[in-house]
Amino acid sequence: MKFLKPMLLTAFAFIGITATVLFSACEKDSCTDLTCYNGGSCSGGFCHCTTGYEGAQCDIRSEDRFLGKYIGVTICDSAAGLLDTVAIVTGSSNTQVGIVNSFNSSEVVYGTISITGGQYLIIVPTQTNNNVTTTYSISWNAGILKYNTVVVDNNSGVTKSDCTFQGKQQ
């Protein structure tokens, strides 16, 4: 009788440890039923998407959120604002878009989508033509596009124009 308590305690401990090991070894892989598209990979039950794709299954092209027409106001050189339209169109990749301003619809400026600190930016390279440099600053947040263009005469260093468009996605 004296050995019965320690034997029972040992037997219950053994059964408890064995059951825990068996049940935890049978856990289902959380990535088994999840398909990640467009080169995405699953880890811990979540898809980790390649550049240019987003969504729960990497099935949404990043550029799609930006595409469309934006209606707003353009203010140049602190003058009165003018009603304006800017369109964002598909670029050559899933991280590139084209920006078309209604005042100069023959010119398409291409930029690359970037996310910095939760802020969506469209990075457009600085352009220099005929001693004039044009720089762009473009941001997007919840359907609001802010698009600034600064044109500087390289010979004099004088700013020829400084225009800012802000509009809402339609």
Q: pLDDT tens digits, residue range 85-135?
A: 999 998 888 778 999 987 666 788 999 988 877 788 999 999 999 899 999
- pLDDT bin (cut points 50, 70, 90) of residue 51 is confident
Q: pLDDT tens digits, residue range 70-86?
A: 999 999 987 888 899 99
Over 80: is that where the pLDDT of 5 sits? no
Residue range 66-169 forms a domain whose CATH class is mainly beta
Instruction: Name the CA dihedral angle for 100, 101, 102, 103, rounded to a multiple of 10 degrees.
Output: -130
Domain extents for the chain? 4-61, 66-169
Which whole number is the average pLDDT over 20-28?
63
Of residues 153 and 117, the one with the higher pLDDT is 153
**Residues with Cβ within 8 Å of residue 13, at least 6 apart in sequence:** none
Q: What is the pTM of this model?
A: 0.69
* The predicted structure's pLDDT at residue 104: 63
* The predicted structure's pLDDT at residue 119: 83
Q: What kind of architecture, by CATH, is found in domain 4-61? A: Ribbon (2.10)
* The predicted structure's pLDDT at residue 24: 61
Query: Residue 25: which region, alpha, beta or left (left: phi > 0; alpha: psi -120 to 50)?
Result: alpha
34 burial type by CB count under 10 A (0-12 exposed, 13-18 middle, 19+ buried): middle
* The predicted structure's pLDDT at residue 2: 66
Which whole number is the average pLDDT over 14-37?
76
Which whole number is the average pLDDT over 38-52?
92
